Amino acid sequence: MFQDIMDLIKGRDITILAPHPDDEVIGCYSLLDVWNSGTVVYFAWNPQRKAEAIKSGEEIGHNTVFSSLDDPGIKGSDVLLVPSIADNHPLHQAVNHLSYTMKANTRVFYSTEKNISFEPLPEEMVERKTKHLNLFYPSQRGLWDRDQKYVLFEGFRTKDYETFAMVSFRFEGFHQWVDIPSSHTEQYLKDVHRHLFHCRVWVEQFHEDRDVEYIEVKRAIKTFAEDFSRNNLIGSCEMFADVLRVFVKTHYRGRRVKVEVVEDGENGAFIE
């Protein structure tokens, strides 16, 4: 993911829209670590945080602009780094909306809250990032001291929404409800019985040109499900949906996964 973004923005005019001072480091340090030009635009600050942002910018080597939602001070950039709409903070969402009034040949979305797919940073980069934050943003240190996600992970995407490959299949399996309460009216469920399980699986895609190929995904997951059912009772739909989720997460690392398992096309479970 990081290398794809690096290749995309290399040698181009870049502007990071940072709702608050420190957002550019928390969300984009892997880019700043190898970037010594461009502009960071801030939208909310107090005197202390403004002074911190200026010193941080001088250390990294980028231009620093203090702006507002009413008058952003820039009309656009070749590449805009924008907070993702998936982040919950109202100002982050407002800056996201504002970005669409600016001209940009490429938009790249980042998340300080890690609400989009992310990757762990290399250990040595985590050390540099933590040192920079502690040195230049001491007023906010409690944030990453309390939750290491702010220094350990980063993620980027070129679309501000999630795209999933979806596959569906059916297979025959058997299960039973061993611990059914004695008061339950459907006591036959305690016996081993057969269903035709209908499954749908969604796997996150990082680009829109068959990032994961549907037929290959379907074949791999269906083969696993059939092999599992020959050697095991399925358990509940919820249990088997989780079995499929773990299988898919193992084979398609770093991607979001959703799974649906339904008995005979009627009743079942959904995991997101």
Structural domain count, the chain: 2
- Reading the block at residue 111, the tokens are 């998340």
Alpha carbon distance 246, 248 (integer Å):
6
- Clarify whether residues 68 and 49 are in a common domain: yes
Task: Give the residue from 129, 157, 185 where a domain finishes.
Answer: 157
Task: Give the residue from 126, 157, 188 where a domain finishes.
Answer: 157
Phi, psi of 222 (to 5 degrees): -65, -40
Q: Can you give the pTM of this predicted structure?
A: 0.73
| Element containing residue 60 per DSSP (H, E) | helix 47-60
- Clarify whether residues 107 and 143 are in a common domain: yes
User: Could you report the per-residue pLDDT of 175-234, keeping only the tens digit for each?
Assistant: 888 888 989 998 888 889 999 999 999 999 887 788 889 999 999 999 999 999 999 999
- Clarify whether residues 142 and 16 are in a common domain: yes
Where is average pLDDT lowest: 90-94, 144-148, 158-162? Answer: 158-162
- Clarify whether residues 171 and 254 are in a common domain: yes
Domain range for 168: 163-271
- Clarify whether residues 178 and 84 are in a common domain: no
- Clarify whether residues 170 and 151 are in a common domain: no
Residue 177 carries which DSSP code? Answer: -
Q: Which residue spans within 7-84 are E strands per DSSP?
A: 14-18, 39-42, 63-66, 76-83
- Clarify whether residues 60 and 182 are in a common domain: no
Task: Give the residue from 131, 157, 183 where a domain finishes.
Answer: 157
User: Could you report the per-residue pLDDT of 73-117, keeping only the tens digit for each?
Assistant: 888 999 999 999 999 999 999 999 999 999 999 999 999 999 888
User: Could you report the per-residue pLDDT of 122-133, keeping only the tens digit for each?
Assistant: 999 999 999 999
